[in-house]
């Protein structure tokens, strides 16, 4: 997709003007505004409007003069990309944030309420993306132009993606489709009485993705637009978590769709793990299946990977200027990892012979696993949940440089050109491995896991045997491969370790050593403002 297309603002049916007077042909005064009635006037309008839906997951808005789509004190702060990362990462062992902004400490310690602003922002943002998609789908339904039919299917994919995050995070959100229109009613939940939990929404997502699969482009048709492989990956991920969502496991279905991705022959592991998190991780990367696209020139904002780079950098231990190549508005000193996740990521037994990490190896250079992008800070222990970013384990996995250290093609001193991964080929392998393991096909699971580990170690020295494969290894391996990619909370929930499991990390539950928390926290609350304003919405149990 031409990145310029997603910068143009649109106004759909919420601002459409109609009249019975024939000669009242109203056109937008702003040439960058597309009215609903003009959507079919120019083929480029379709792609520009579709671009708006893609962009809604990353940017704060493309309104007049760069205005936010949802009013906020800091539009960048409450975008989908930032809020999603916060709720998926700083609620877990992988990250903790040292900022004092309202809502941060609640996520750090699993003590949030229905008033948490990041939960509200993410809830609203996902709903907004669904609304944009619904209107585009409604306006393009029935169009027989093959290109428009494909755009329509992409919008349906993006709507399914938003609902997939909704079901995972909020369980029972309000539900609307293109049939409902915009702004005419109070949305309802699919299961207002909570009798069958998330099953109805799960079935809807699966049905939608299967319906659009034949219409979407072939794998890798026009990265980063969604294609068949994107739909297969989303289906696989929803099936991976089916037992959480519905009470019934769907491991065989998860394997079917990961098999489709792997057997397509269009993807492979990048030779260099770091390429997935560098400025050249897009079109030339054989591993990337779908990502939220960023560009230092055309998609500017302190969101996505720019946010990850800057919030993980500091003036002393991980300077953005040194590690990441950004030189403007750098070193926010907020996010870093916790000691317990360092012990997951760094194989201390294999690397250091079961002894503590040497004090002079602050970059873990002796690690044989080359997925380790950590740095020791002032202390690996974090003295309080609100301690500054100087404490803990620094993470520099994402960079604004190319994987070979050179400057990005669309370099900007303040904004990264690194796409944020949603689906990678490595995830197809590890999802299939987990499904095979659950189905009893241990040998096949080990083969897929060792394919991942051979890339990580550069040889077979990190390979495992069937005897070493268990639940803990699977969870840990996903952490080693996907840390800081906004997947950790979902994985911990699936393995029963997010709240009341046996795994503890510093400041889980608000104590230094970590403590179990209530199981109801496996699902976030519907924001209190929504429950108060919408008589059709019932709060999730326990809130």
The 10s digit of each residue's pLDDT in 207-255 is: 999 999 999 999 998 889 999 999 999 999 999 999 999 999 999 999 9
Strand partners, 217: 227
Strand partners, 335: 97
Which residue do the tokens 């019932």 mark?
538
Q: Which of 52-61, 188-197, 360-369, 503-512 has the lowest mean pLDDT?
A: 188-197
What is the torsion angle, in degrees rounded to the nearest 10, for the CA atoms of residue 128, residue 132, residue 135 and residue 137?
-120
Could you give the CA distance from residue 182 to residue 265 in angstroms, rounded to a whole number? 41
Closest CA relative to residue 57, chosen from 222, 299, 220, 231: 299
Decide if 43 contacts 147 (C-beta within 8 A).
yes
Task: Flag whether pLDDT at 171 surpasses 80.
Answer: yes
Query: How confident is the model at residue 340, as a pLDDT?
Result: 94
Could you give the CA distance from residue 267 to residue 290 in angstroms, rounded to a whole number? 12
The 10s digit of each residue's pLDDT in 291-346 is: 999 999 988 899 999 999 999 999 999 999 999 999 999 999 999 999 999 999 98
Could you give the CA distance from residue 37 to residue 198 in angstroms, rounded to a whole number? 37
Decide if 182 contacts 12 (C-beta within 8 A).
yes
The secondary structure of 399-439 as a DSSP string is: -SS-TTSPPPTT--SSS--PPEEEEEHHHHHHHHHHHHHHT
Could you give the CA distance from residue 357 to residue 379 in angstroms, rounded to a whole number? 13
**112 half-sphere exposure, CB direction, 13 A CA radius:** 27
The 10s digit of each residue's pLDDT in 96-153 is: 999 999 999 999 999 999 999 999 999 999 999 999 999 999 999 999 999 999 999 9
Query: How confident is the model at residue 34, as a pLDDT?
Result: 61
Decide if 103 contacts 112 (C-beta within 8 A).
yes
pTM score: 0.92
CATH of region 304-382+391-491, choose from 1.25.40.900, 1.20.1290.10, 1.10.3720.10, 1.20.1560.10: 1.25.40.900
Long-range contacts of 468-475 (CB under 8 A, 24+ apart): 469/437, 469/442, 469/445, 471/495, 474/433, 474/434, 474/437
- Which one has a higher pLDDT value, 182 or 145? 145
Residues near 108 by beta carbon (within 8 Å), at least 6 away in sequence: 90, 91, 96, 97, 385, 386, 507
The 10s digit of each residue's pLDDT in 262-274 is: 999 999 999 999 9
CATH 1.25.40.900 occupies which residues in the chain?
A: 304-382+391-491
Residues near 470 by beta carbon (within 8 Å), at least 6 away in sequence: none
């Amino acid at each position: 997709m031409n990145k310029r297309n997603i910068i143009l603002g649109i106004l759909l049916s919420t601002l459409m003007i109609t009249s019975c007077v024939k000669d009242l042909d109203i056109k937008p005064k702003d040439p960058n505004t597309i009215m609903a009635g003009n959507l079919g006037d120019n083929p480029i309008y379709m792609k520009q409007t579709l671009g708006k839906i893609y962009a809604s997951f990353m940017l704060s808005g493309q309104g007049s003069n760069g205005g936010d789509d949802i009013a906020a004190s800091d539009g960048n702060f409450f975008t989908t990309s930032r809020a999603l990362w916060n709720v998926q990462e700083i609620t877990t062992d992988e990250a903790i944030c040292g900022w004092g902004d309202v809502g941060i400490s609640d996520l750090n310690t699993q003590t949030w309420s229905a008033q948490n602003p990041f939960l509200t922002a993410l809830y609203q943002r996902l709903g907004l993306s669904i609304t944009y998609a619904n209107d585009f789908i409604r306006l393009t339904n029935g169009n027989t132009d093959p290109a428009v039919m494909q755009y329509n299917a992409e919008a349906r994919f993006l709507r399914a993606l938003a609902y997939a995050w909704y079901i995972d995070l909020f369980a029972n959100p309000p539900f609307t489709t293109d049939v409902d229109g915009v702004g005419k009613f109070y949305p309802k939940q699919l299961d207002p009485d909570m009798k069958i939990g998330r099953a109805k929404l799960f079935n809807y997502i699966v049905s939608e993705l299967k319906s659009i699969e034949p219409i979407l482009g072939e794998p890798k048709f026009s990265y980063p637009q969604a294609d068949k492989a994107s739909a297969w990956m989303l289906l696989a991920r929803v099936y991976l978590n089916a037992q959480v969502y519905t009470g019934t496991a769907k491991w065989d279905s998860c394997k079917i769709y990961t098999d489709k991705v792997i057997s397509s022959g269009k993807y492979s592991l990048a030779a260099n793990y770091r390429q997935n998190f560098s400025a050249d991780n897009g079109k030339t990367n054989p591993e990337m299946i779908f990502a939220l696209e960023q560009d230092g020139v055309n998609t500017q904002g302190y969101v996505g990977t720019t946010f990850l780079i800057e919030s993980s950098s500091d003036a002393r231990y991980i300077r953005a200027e040194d590690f990441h190549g950004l030189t403007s508005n750098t070193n926010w000193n907020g996010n870093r990892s916790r000691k317990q996740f360092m012990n997951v990521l760094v194989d201390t037994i294999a690397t250091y012979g079961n002894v503590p990490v040497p004090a002079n190896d602050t970059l873990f250079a002796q690690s044989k696993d080359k997925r380790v992008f950590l740095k020791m800070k002032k202390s690996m222990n974090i003295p309080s949940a609100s301690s500054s970013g100087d404490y803990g384990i620094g993470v520099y996995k994402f960079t604004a440089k190319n994987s070979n250290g050179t400057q990005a093609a669309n370099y900007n001193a303040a904004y990264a050109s690194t796409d944020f991964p949603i689906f990678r080929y490595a995830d197809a392998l590890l999802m299939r491995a987990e499904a095979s393991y659950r189905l009893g096909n241990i040998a096949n699971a080990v083969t897929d896991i060792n394919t991942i580990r051979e890339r990580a170690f550069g040889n077979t020295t990190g390979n495992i045997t069937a005897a070493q494969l268990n639940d803990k290894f699977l969870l840990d391996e996903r952490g080693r491969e996907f840390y800081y990619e906004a997947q950790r909370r979902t994985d911990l929930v699936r393995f029963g370790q997010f709240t009341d499991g046996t795994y503890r990390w510093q400041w889980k539950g608000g104590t230094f050593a970590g403590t179990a928390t209530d199981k109801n926290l496996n699902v976030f609350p519907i924001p209190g403002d929504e429950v108060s304003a919408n008589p059709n919405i019932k709060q999730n149990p326990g809130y």
